[in-house]
Structure 1
């Protein structure tokens, strides 16, 4: 997942690494850095060419992390709607910064939601948990504790 450059704590860390690579003229590794962090190649190219001043802001860095982590999740739960919801919540910078932090993992979020769903279905004897409840639990994973 973050095999080459490691996991970054923030968009600022990604931007510092990208700036160093750009300064060295190492566009190949700049593109690898972008891919590893879920940043589109076109954005990385625009940054490398000086068209845009940074490679990522808090929101795009968080959404990129979610996309990279999503690709590695194996779950019986439908992960995409949860990721889509969390991505929209990343438009709020403070939430995006929490998502990007190293201590939070989408895999752990999904596991937590899955556990709560099982408990809720057992408690209510229903086979369904409303989407908004699931989304609330997913966001709470990032914002609580």
Structure 2
């Protein structure tokens, strides 16, 4: 049992080291974008599996290939964020990753609102305005 605990701690330590190297450490905006990615993925699954209104498949129902493509897109976004941090390092600046992250936050938030609309949930003007503010922040930092 102790061996398993040590192995698990070693794996978590290695992942944390990779995260620090790729993203320069944990930032609040990184946490927000990853959380929104998870919420969006689950909301998309609910739209397809429960409501059968997904625009990603012909029938509107859940489709494993569409889900796999969506997951690949999420990982691609994470790779772009990591690359933008590496560009920050190369140029000696600290705003490219932030601008990229704000852009993805706005994108994910908008996608969540769209999924909520497909579920029949009323779209909130307050939430849509908050997304517009995020888009504005992304444009200003670029």
One fold, TM greater than 0.5?
no
TM-score (norm 2): 0.30
Pick the structure with more helix per residue: 2
Which one has a bigger Cα radius of gyration? 2
